[in-house]
Amino acid sequence: MTHDINALLREYDRARAYTDQLWKDLSPDEVTWRPHEDSSAIGWHLGHQAHVAHFMIRNLTAAEPSPDPELDGIMDSANPEKFRGALPTVERLTAFRDTVAERVHARMGDIASGRVGAPDQLAVVANHLLLALVNHEYQHDQWIGEVRAESLGHALPPDPVSDWLTRVDGYLVCAPGA
């Protein structure tokens, strides 16, 4: 089953907006703080969310260079925490996230408008890709929210509202038609 790509982009934006509610009011020290040495900081999760979105778009729909190649190794979950390196500044993380989101929108817009080779096939890919991106965003939001509330003592924002959102195993999940 395929869904409207533009509707899925709205869900992607909703997920990103929820992520922003979880971290934008935190201090830079809170964003880069790690609960323990083998744990990732909120800032890593923010960069990782964008890193995965870039690589999925790049590898599944359009080969394009990384918007910030120096962050690729840091934000790759295949690299153990101790080998990732120092986190970038909050400003750089924000710019990275914003640039990746713009690229997601541009590529998905091209697919939705049929301005690609194999537009019907890529529409199927785009549907699954966008659902994966939204659910990956929420997957990491769960951890960010736990650290925000339990370790840093900040209240959680209300869950985003959408007919397509539910909770599974405590995680927000976008499941159109469920």
Q: What is the pLDDT of residues 36-51, one digit of tens each?
A: 887 899 999 999 999 9
CA-CA distance, 146 to 111, in Å (whole number)?
36
Per-residue pLDDT, 31 = 97
pLDDT in tens, 106-144: 999 999 999 999 999 999 999 999 999 999 999 999 999
Per-residue pLDDT, 178 = 63
pLDDT in tens, 84-104: 888 999 999 999 999 999 999
User: pTM higher than 0.85 for the full model?
Assistant: yes
Residue with tokens 């890529």: 122
Per-residue pLDDT, 47 = 96
- The fold adopted by the segment(s) 5-174 is Four Helix Bundle (Hemerythrin (Met), subunit A) (1.20.120)
For the chain, domain boundaries: 5-174
pLDDT in tens, 137-176: 999 999 999 999 999 999 999 999 999 999 999 999 999 8
Per-residue pLDDT, 82 = 78
- Give the pLDDT band (50/70/90) at residue 2: low
Give the tokens for residue 87. 């986190």
